Amino acid sequence: MKVNGTPYRSLWWLADREVLQIIDQRWLPHDFRVQDVATLQDFADAIVQMRVRGAPLIGATAAYGMALAMRLDPSDSHMDHAWEFLHDTRPTAINLRWALNRCRDMLRPLHLNHRANAALALAHAIADEDVEINRNIGLHGLEIIKDIASRKPAGEPVNLLTHCNAGWLATVDWGTATSPMYHAHDAGISLHIWVDETRPRNQGALTSWELGSHGIPHTYISDNAGGHLMQHGQVDMVIVGTDRTTAQGDVCNKIGTYLKALAARANNVPFYVALPSPTIDWTVTDGISEIPIEERDPAEVSHIQGLTDAGDIGTVQVTPTGTPSGNPAFDVTPNHLVTGLITERGVSLASGDGLRAMFPDLAAA
């Protein structure tokens, strides 16, 4: 998508310097900084420190990490080391393991001399596929938004609510939950997006930055406002992303998603999840007991980062010194609260039957 009129992806390979470049998302929305990722340690740091974040982008970044590892040393032992090193960065988003496994499975049978180029070609393919998957999620989601728009009084926008940032910054391009928004806006449908702030890291500010850059009307709200807005008929549809969806259609996403799903159900608001197929974990059936939930630094809760009046990016403490804080980063929304899964192949029921019917090839693999 565009930043100040210039098209960007969230990561790109510089062939002449043989280096990956990323947007360091820690400084957004206040500062747009591009950064080289040049060593295996850089790749791990970029994921752990959330310079890159969002399930699909974590996966694509890890694929480039494997490509770099193969350039340095294409041996089996180094490949396995790179797999472990990158895999241990963040536990919840399944796209990380999906991308690393895909790289290792493809590389293992190859002669060592061919591994570097093949790994880079695969990383490019994973990035390009992600863009195409998200574009198609957008087209399927557009049909749902069109249907809602057709039932709204003339002149009234369709009000969507989203949580976290499942935008182009969280993917290679388009985003998952935001792709239907971009497609609907570009198709001339009048939209307004309620953007949850998404404490503790405020990924909603990234979503606001994206939507603002694309000219989509939106309002940034506190995480606690959604239920109230739904009670007052001000939300037509919720769309969120996912970090890992089980074979039964349970959805693990950013902390707070579950509460939005409960509020949506209580108020008859459709609750959709934008789901790229690499985010399905076919090995997990019970999301609540089986998905590892990342527990992050409590300082993300006790402190908050923002722009000071002096124009610097700074951090302040919001709790009394020494207050214990807890920071589970994701939660699981059971499938019965999900109206539908918007995938690249179409809209699926959030159930084992629904996912198997939509992806019989992947379910069988």
Segment interacting with ligand MRU, rule: CB under 6 A, options 1-9, 119-127, 136-144, 166-174 = 166-174
Site membership for ligand MRU, residue 235 (CB under 6 A): no
* Beta strand pairing call for 237-240 and 271-274: parallel
Q: Is 241 a binder of ligand MRU (CB under 6 A)?
A: yes
Binding segment (CB under 6 A) for ligand MRU, from list 77-85, 106-114, 170-178, 338-346: 170-178
* Closest separation in Å from C-beta 153 to ligand MRU: 31
Residue 18: CB partners within 8 Å, gap ≥ 6?
A: 71
Which of 208, 242, 302, 339 lies at the binding interface for ligand MRU (CB under 6 A)? 242
The catalytically annotated residue of 24, 173, 236, 243 is 243
Residue placing its CB nearer to ligand MRU in the complex, 61 or 253 = 253
Residues 6+ apart with CB under 8 A from 12: 20, 21
Q: Side chain identity at 310, as an amino acid letter? A: A
Q: Which of 171, 179, 335, 339 binds ligand MRU (CB under 6 A)?
A: 171
Nearer to ligand MRU by C-beta: 61 or 176? 176
| 50, 113, 132, 203 from 32: Cα distances, Å | 15, 38, 25, 15
**Residue 166 interacting with ligand MRU (CB under 6 A):** yes
Q: Does 195 bind ligand MRU (CB under 6 A)?
A: no
With contacts defined by CB under 6 A, name the span among 52-60, 140-148, 219-227, 262-270 that binds ligand MRU. 52-60
> Of these, 20, 55, 211, 264, which contacts ligand MRU (CB under 6 A)?
55
- Segment 318 to 357, residues that bind ligand MRU, using CB under 6 A: 329
- Candidates 254, 256, 263, 281; binder of ligand MRU (CB under 6 A) is 254
- The answer to whether the CB of 240 falls within 8 A of the CB of 137 is no
- Residue 281 · residue 245 · CB < 8 Å: yes
204 interacts with ligand MRU by CB under 6 A: no
Question: Is there a contact between 178 and 211 (Cβ–Cβ < 8 Å)?
Answer: yes
Beta strand ranges found along the chain (DSSP E): 2-3, 6-7, 11-14, 19-23, 34-37, 158-162, 191-196, 218-221, 237-240, 244-246, 251-254, 271-274, 280-281, 303-307, 313-317, 330-333, 340-343, 346-348
Nearer to ligand MRU, 94 or 189 (CB): 94
CB of 178 to ligand MRU, least distance (A): 8
**CA separation for the pair 313, 187 (Å, rounded):** 37
- 162 near ligand MRU, judged by CB under 6 A: no
Give how far Cα 117 sits from Cα of 9, 68, 74, 102, 126, Å. Answer: 22, 10, 10, 15, 14
Can you tell me the distance from the alpha carbon of 150 to that of 75, in angstroms, rounded to the nearest whole number?
Answer: 58
Stretch that binds ligand MRU, among 7-15, 62-70, 165-173, 306-314 (CB under 6 A): 165-173
Q: Which of 40, 86, 131, 170 binds ligand MRU (CB under 6 A)?
A: 170
The Cα–Cα gap between 361 and 280 comes to: 13
Q: Does 62 bind ligand MRU (CB under 6 A)?
A: no
CB of 284 to ligand MRU, least distance (A): 16
Confirm whether 243 is a catalytic residue.
yes
Identify the residue among 173, 236, 243, 250 touching ligand MRU (CB under 6 A). Answer: 243
- Binding status of residue 102 toward ligand MRU by CB under 6 A: no
CA nearest to 145, candidates 218, 221, 238: 238
How many angstroms separate the Cα of 87 from the Cα of each of 13, 48, 101, 225? 21, 10, 10, 36
The residue within the footprint of ligand MRU, chosen from 20, 164, 235, 350 (CB under 6 A), is 164
How far apart, in whole angstroms, are the C-alpha atoms of residue 239 and residue 121? 33
Residue 250 has phi, psi (to 5 degrees) of: -75, 145
Residues forming the site for ligand MRU (CB under 6 A):
53-56, 93, 164, 166, 170-171, 175-176, 203, 241-243, 253-254, 329
**Among all residues, which ones are annotated catalytic?**
243
